[in-house]
Structures are given as C-alpha cells and as structure tokens.
Amino acid sequence: MKKLPLHEVHQSLGASFEDSSGWTVPRDYGDKLSEYESVRNNVGIIDLSSRGKLRLSGKDHLKFLQGMLSNDVMKLQEGKGMYATILTVKGRMISDMKVYKQTESVFLDLEPELNHKVSELLTKFRLSYKANIEDVTDTVGLISLQGPNSKKLLEKLLDEKISEMQEYDSFKSDFQGSEITVVLLNRTGEEGFDLYIDNESLRPLWTELINKGEELNIKPVGYDAFNTLRIEAGIPSYNVDMDENNIPIEAGLWTALDFEKGCYVGQEVVARIKWRGHVNWHLVAFKCDGDKIPNPGDEIFNDDKKVGRVTSSTYSPKLKQPICLGYVRRELKDSGTMLSIKRSESSDIQAEIAKVPLYEGSFKLEQNSATS
C-alpha cells in the first residue's frame, strides 16, 4: 500500500488508518461525528492526495481529448472546468473525472488508482496526435477544504478576496513561493475548494491551514466522515456506485455528457439512449426506517421481486436515520416509492426513495448527483 505524503502528520493527529484503492488513508481522527459536524457547520480539511492526477499538453491535446471524453472540452476557456467520463465503445464507464483547462494544458482529476488505467488507455489511442500524457499523481498533492467557512479560510490563507466562482472554476495563486491551483468543487454538499500543490509544499500548506483555521473551528476529516457527507449529498463514487458495467445515464451523470458535440468513443450508444430509448436501471437515494444500516451489495425487493441492489450506505447524523444509494428498475425510480432491503444477517429494512440531495448544505450550484 502507498502512503500519503502527509502520513506522518496524520499519525501525529491520532488518525486511525484504512487501506483504500491501493493507499493507506486516514479513516478517522478519533471522533467521526465531530469531523462530520466540522464540514456541515464550519470547515473541514481532507487529504485527498491519493486521487489520480494526469496532465495533458502538446499541440493536439484538446483535439485528442475531444474525441475521447463525453463532454465538450473544446469549449473550455482557461480557468474553467467540467465533469466528464471516458467510455468503452459500448458506452460503459471506464472512469469519471474532473477536467480543468489551464494555460497550455488540461488537468484531469480521477478516483485513486484510475490514473494508471486512464493513462494507458489515452496512450493507446493517442496514435498520431501530438499530445503529451503526464501522470503527476505522486508529485502533486491535493488538500480539500469543505464547509460553509471554507472560503473565509482560503481568503485568510491567500490574503486576497476571492471573487464569485462557478463549480469547476479554478485560479492559480502563490503560497510561500510555490504555485497553488484552487478549484471550486462540491464534494460534500457544502461549499468547498480543492487545493493542488507540489508535494514539497504540502506539509507547510496543511500546517498553515490548520493554524489559520483555528478560529473557524477547523478539523481534519477522515474518510469515514467524508463518505457520510458525500452520500448525504447524493454524489456517486466510481468503483463504489458505478463502474465499467454502468452507462453514465444509469448513474444520473447528465452534466458529464454533451449531446451536441461530435463523435467520441461510446457516443453512439449514449445518444441512442437519450433520443430513442431508456436505461433499465437508475441510481437513486434511500431513507431507511429503523436503525439498521444496509450493506453494499444488499438486494432490494418490491414485494417478492428483486428490483435492485445497494451500493453505498451510512448513518446520516442530520437526518438521524440510515441512508443509502443503490440501483433500482426504472419503473420504480420515483421519489416516494417504498421498497424493502434484504440484509443477509437480519430482518428486512423498509426504505423510501428520496430526492437528492438527501441533505442540502451550503453548496447551491448545479450538482453531479444521483438522480432521484
């Protein structure tokens, strides 16, 4: 397992660790509820340096990506970004990603370890395109600030006023002589910012954020609390709620798709579904009765008929009940539908399909979320 560049820092903060997608990451810092509340009420700091990071450059890099990704990267201006997927010829998801246009390059943010798969695929299809594909996962770190006070903290860090931004907008600034890239991004349902910086400057950045965030009640947030926050926000995670068996429309990833652009790998399948057909499965959110939390993989039933499965689950401190994400048949996807979740080791759980987000935080912009 790889260790995060700040592994020793997390150890000094009393973190408990878990293995996740090839990395050893902080599960919690001893008080999951306090970590959760810091994001919902103040500001939390999350080390997401394990996420995959690719940088594409060269004369043809935009033209090349345009034929590979499901969204229209050619329309991006510097400092703008978007959500996208890369698909198989049958329209199945190889990966989702955040795409950021920089001065002479494009930066891709991916789930941990997907950098290898996506980099190999892009290299395979590059052919005669003049495009450089650089994997910077192990040299560029990522710290995410999440919570209603995240903007205040960022302004204190950079000592400058931050103008209004749209989701995926980015800008570059200076931190102690190092370049830092700041992106407005919803990862938890709260206003949040991703901060990318070279690994050499990661520890000073973390320390400065903790110091300047003290009066804002900042807390480091582990992956357990982070997972609860994203499920409440209805944000699906690749390799958890979707994978190569899924078409983006099944997971409700409409903002990752552009139906006006030209051809890209998998485009014909996605366009045919949009204009002439439908998908049989939809990712939805559930509010569950009782105090038992469903397990990923638990089957969902309508009377005695199996109609789906659970993909993510947690206990929601805000809703004070178990919640989950899962796939159901299209005829049952509407909010208010009551279904039962069968747990292998205990009695069934009654669950109601709910609108997304399950809890609405401070982030009010258009979301990439599970459809309700």
For the chain, which residues make up each domain, given as ranges?
Answer: 2-51+138-232, 53-135, 254-354
SS3 326: strand
Class of the domain covering 53-135: alpha beta
Q: What average pLDDT score do residues 4-24 get?
A: 97
Residue 277: the pLDDT is 84
Q: Does domain 254-354 have CATH number 3.30.565.10?
A: no
Q: Is 168 helix (H, G, I), strand (E, B) or coil?
A: coil
Contacts of 71 (CB under 8 A, 6+ apart): 82, 83, 84, 85, 99, 256, 257, 258, 261
pLDDT for 365 equals 54
For 87-138, the pLDDT digits (tens) are 999 999 999 999 999 999 999 999 999 999 999 999 999 999 999 999 999 9
Q: Which among 132, 126, 123 has a CA at the least distance from the CA of 67? A: 126
> How far apart, in whole angstroms, are the C-alpha atoms of residue 85 and residue 253?
9
53-135 matches 2-51+138-232 in CATH topology = no
Question: 165 is written with which tokens?
Answer: 């931004």
Rounded distance between C-alpha atoms, residue 133 and residue 165, angstroms: 28
Give per-residue pLDDT as tens, 48-90. Answer: 999 999 999 999 999 999 999 999 999 999 999 999 999 999 9
Whether pLDDT at 368 is above 70: no
- State the Cα–Cα distance between residues 14 and 326, nearest whole angstrom: 33
- DSSP per residue, 201-251: GHHHHHHHHHHHTGGGT-EE--HHHHHHHHHHTT---BTTTB-TT--TTTT
- CA–CA distance, 27 with 240 (Å, rounded to integer): 17
Q: Which residues contact 314 (CB under 8 A, 6 or more apart)?
A: 227, 228, 231, 232, 293, 322, 323, 324
Task: Check if the beta carbon of residue 170 is closer than 8 Å to that of residue 81.
Answer: yes
At residue 369, does pLDDT exceed 80?
Answer: no
pLDDT digits over 267-278, tens only?
999 999 988 889
164-176: b or e for each residue (b if 16 or more CB lie within 10 Å)? ebebbbbbebebe
Do 147 and 192 meet the contact criterion of CB atoms below 8 Å apart?
yes
pLDDT at position 276 = 84
Annotation: CATH topology of 2-51+138-232: Gyrase A; domain 2 (3.30.1360)
56 touches 145 (CB < 8 A): no
**pLDDT tens readout for residues 297-344:** 999 999 999 999 999 999 999 999 999 999 999 999 999 999 999 987
Contacts of 125 (CB under 8 A, 6+ apart): 68, 265
Q: What would the two tokens of residue 308 be? A: 């789906």
How far from 275 is each of 18, 268, 271, 291, CA to CA, in Å?
A: 44, 11, 6, 42
Residue with tokens 């103008």: 163
Q: Measured between alpha carbons, how far is 240 from 281 in angstroms, rounded to an integer?
A: 16
CA distance 220 to 282: 34
Q: Are the C-beta atoms of residues 273 and 288 closer than 8 Å to each other? A: no
Average pLDDT over residues 184-210: 98
pLDDT of 264 higher than 90 = yes
Query: Residue range 157-163: average pLDDT?
Result: 95
Helix spans in the chain (H): 7-12, 32-41, 61-66, 114-126, 150-158, 202-212, 223-232, 267-276
Q: What is the DSSP letter of 67?
A: T
| pLDDT of 367 | 42
Residues 312 and 241 sit within 8 Å (Cβ to Cβ): yes
Rounded mean pLDDT of the chain?
96
> Has residue 364 got a pLDDT over 80?
no
